[in-house]
């Protein structure tokens, strides 16, 4: 357990109001000031209203690279830090580790096929994930649709599974960067979530504390992403890559398009089903493309070159690891997945080429159907969501199915359909080329 030396800062000549004024007046905070601030706030010495004022000053005036790096390091030091340096295969061979983080998007089930795919090549994937809040959905929500599967593992169980299987997807322990949990909750209710220094340090403090040797970031941009603007998404990616490098973690980022949903499903059980299709060598082309590209990046970041992830999807090796990974966490990879009790089909209003399918609208519809939650304590419906029958660029015909809405509570259909009003555009002729799925690479 790594924690800050509270005694070191207890008698320091720092005052919360002075620190707020410094950042309010566009000054630079010292490493000592930042370490004291994070420690004092975590312990309750700095009040919420004071930290809220400092967060707003950071949102308005920013931080330089050294400040962001020091802020991130202080959040890491607020809790434990995992160490995989001693990880070995059952035969005693040292294992390298690599991880992926996505900023979240509609239909983003990539972690499910990606973790076992990378593990095929002897690189361990300790994927600590979360549950969804709002329209994006969470990796753990999806996997919990599998009967028997459990998200919570001890550190010992996680190490054992990494050694024996090579991949684990589980919940992060409460001991990782506890300062971030407190800070995030405050930012959420004070209008400071969008501050790039705070977003970057929030993500990277947890990822660095996880102890992986290499990290690939999937930074989404578009209507269904947290970052709608390409320039801001690029700035966030560059900031996080710099934080990883400063911490000694080999880090790269991909900017990827989230103007339209990934794949043909947005929900929980239906996204698991689609992930299994990808692992079986099929599935939607965009999900396959992004899974393979991220796998290549993760393997290269871990020092493995010349691997062929696409072949490992087609020949069943990734599926074998998936089944072992699910079974190791109590799940039954052969069990039937939950299905929604009710469905309603939305028909195409015209014939032509589908030119737009707005990701945010689909995400909100899935959320309203029960696939997501408004509060952390809310339950989700495993079978709820939206199944799409066409993607932008496809030819559609009037009166044929465009989407199927799924839920256990049919009274939710009307609000879901309201979210989809204006989500679809159909052109009478060919549409201009769509934006590439992978927009840019940043290292």
User: Where in the sequence numbering do the catalytic residues fall?
Assistant: 101, 180, 187, 202, 206
CB of 263 within 8 A of CB of 113? no
**Sheet strands (E) in 68-141:** 99-102, 125-129
Rounded to 5 degrees, φ, ψ at 425 are -125, 135
CB of 213 within 8 A of CB of 97? yes
SS3 at position 141: helix
CA gap 301, 207 in Å, rounded: 15
CA gap 321, 302 in Å, rounded: 19
CA gap 263, 260 in Å, rounded: 9
- List all residues 6 or more positions away from 301 whose beta carbon is below 8 Å from its beta carbon: 98, 214, 215, 216, 250, 251, 252
Secondary structure (H, E, C), 313-337: HHCCHHHHHHHHHHHHCCCCCCCCC
128, 171, 300, 391 from 226: Cα distances, Å: 20, 22, 27, 21
SS3 at position 424: strand
DSSP letter (8 states) at residue 349: S
Of 267, 239, 266, 232, residue with least CA distance to 253: 239
Q: Packing angle between helix 317-328 and helix 111-119, nearest 10 degrees?
A: 110
Q: How many residues does the chain have?
A: 443
Mind giving me the DSSP string for 79-120? SB----TT-B-TTS-B--B-EEEE---TT--THHHHHHHHHT
SS3 at position 385: strand
């Amino acid at each position: 357990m790594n924690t800050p030396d509270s005694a070191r800062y207890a008698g320091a000549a720092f005052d919360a109001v002075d620190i707020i004024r410094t950042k309010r007046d566009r000054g630079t905070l010292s490493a000592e000031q930042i370490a004291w601030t994070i420690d004092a706030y975590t312990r309750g010495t700095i009040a919420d209203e004071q930290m809220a004022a400092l967060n707003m000053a950071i949102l308005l005036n920013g931080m330089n690279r050294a400040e962001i790096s020091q802020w991130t390091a202080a959040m890491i030091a607020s809790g434990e830090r995992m160490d995989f340096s001693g990880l070995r295969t059952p035969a005693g061979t040292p294992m390298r580790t690599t991880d992926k983080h996505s900023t979240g998007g509609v239909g983003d089930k990539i972690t499910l096929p990606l973790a076992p795919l990378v593990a095929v090549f002897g690189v361990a994937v300790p994927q600590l994930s979360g549950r969804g809040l709002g329209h994006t959905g969470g990796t753990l929500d999806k996997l919990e649709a599998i009967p028997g599967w459990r998200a919570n593992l001890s550190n010992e169980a996680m190490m054992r599974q990494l050694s024996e299987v090579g991949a684990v997807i589980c919940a992060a322990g409460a001991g990782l960067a506890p300062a971030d949990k407190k800070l995030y909750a405050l930012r959420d209710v004070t209008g400071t979530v969008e501050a790039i220094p705070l977003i970057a340090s929030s993500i990277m403090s947890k990822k660095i504390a996880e102890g992986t040797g290499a990290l690939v970031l999937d930074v989404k941009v578009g209507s269904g992403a947290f970052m709608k603007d390409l320039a801001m998404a690029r700035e966030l990616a560059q900031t996080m890559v710099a934080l990883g490098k400063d911490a000694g973690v080999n880090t790269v980022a991909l900017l990827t398009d989230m103007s339209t949903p990934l794949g043909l499903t947005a929900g929980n059980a239906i996204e698991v089903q689609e992930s299994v299709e990808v692992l079986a060598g099929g599935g939607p082309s965009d999900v396959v493309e992004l899974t393979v590209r991220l796998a290549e990046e993760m393997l290269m970041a871990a020092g493995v070159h010349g691997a062929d992830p696409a072949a490992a999807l087609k020949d069943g090796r990734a599926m074998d690891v998936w089944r072992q990974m699910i079974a190791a966490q109590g799940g039954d990879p052969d069990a039937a997945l939950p299905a929604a009790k009710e469905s309603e089909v939305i028909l195409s209003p015209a014939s032509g080429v589908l030119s737009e399918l707005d990701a945010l609208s689909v995400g909100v519809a899935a959320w309203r159907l029960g696939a997501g939650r408004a509060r952390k304590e809310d339950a989700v419906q495993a079978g709820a969501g939206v199944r799409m029958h066409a993607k932008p660029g496809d030819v559609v015909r009037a009166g044929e199915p465009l989407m199927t809405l799924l839920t256990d509570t049919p009274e939710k259909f009307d609000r879901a359909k309201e979210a989809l009003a204006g989500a679809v555009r159909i052109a009478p002729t060919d549409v201009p080329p769509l934006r590439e799925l992978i927009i840019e690479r940043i290292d």
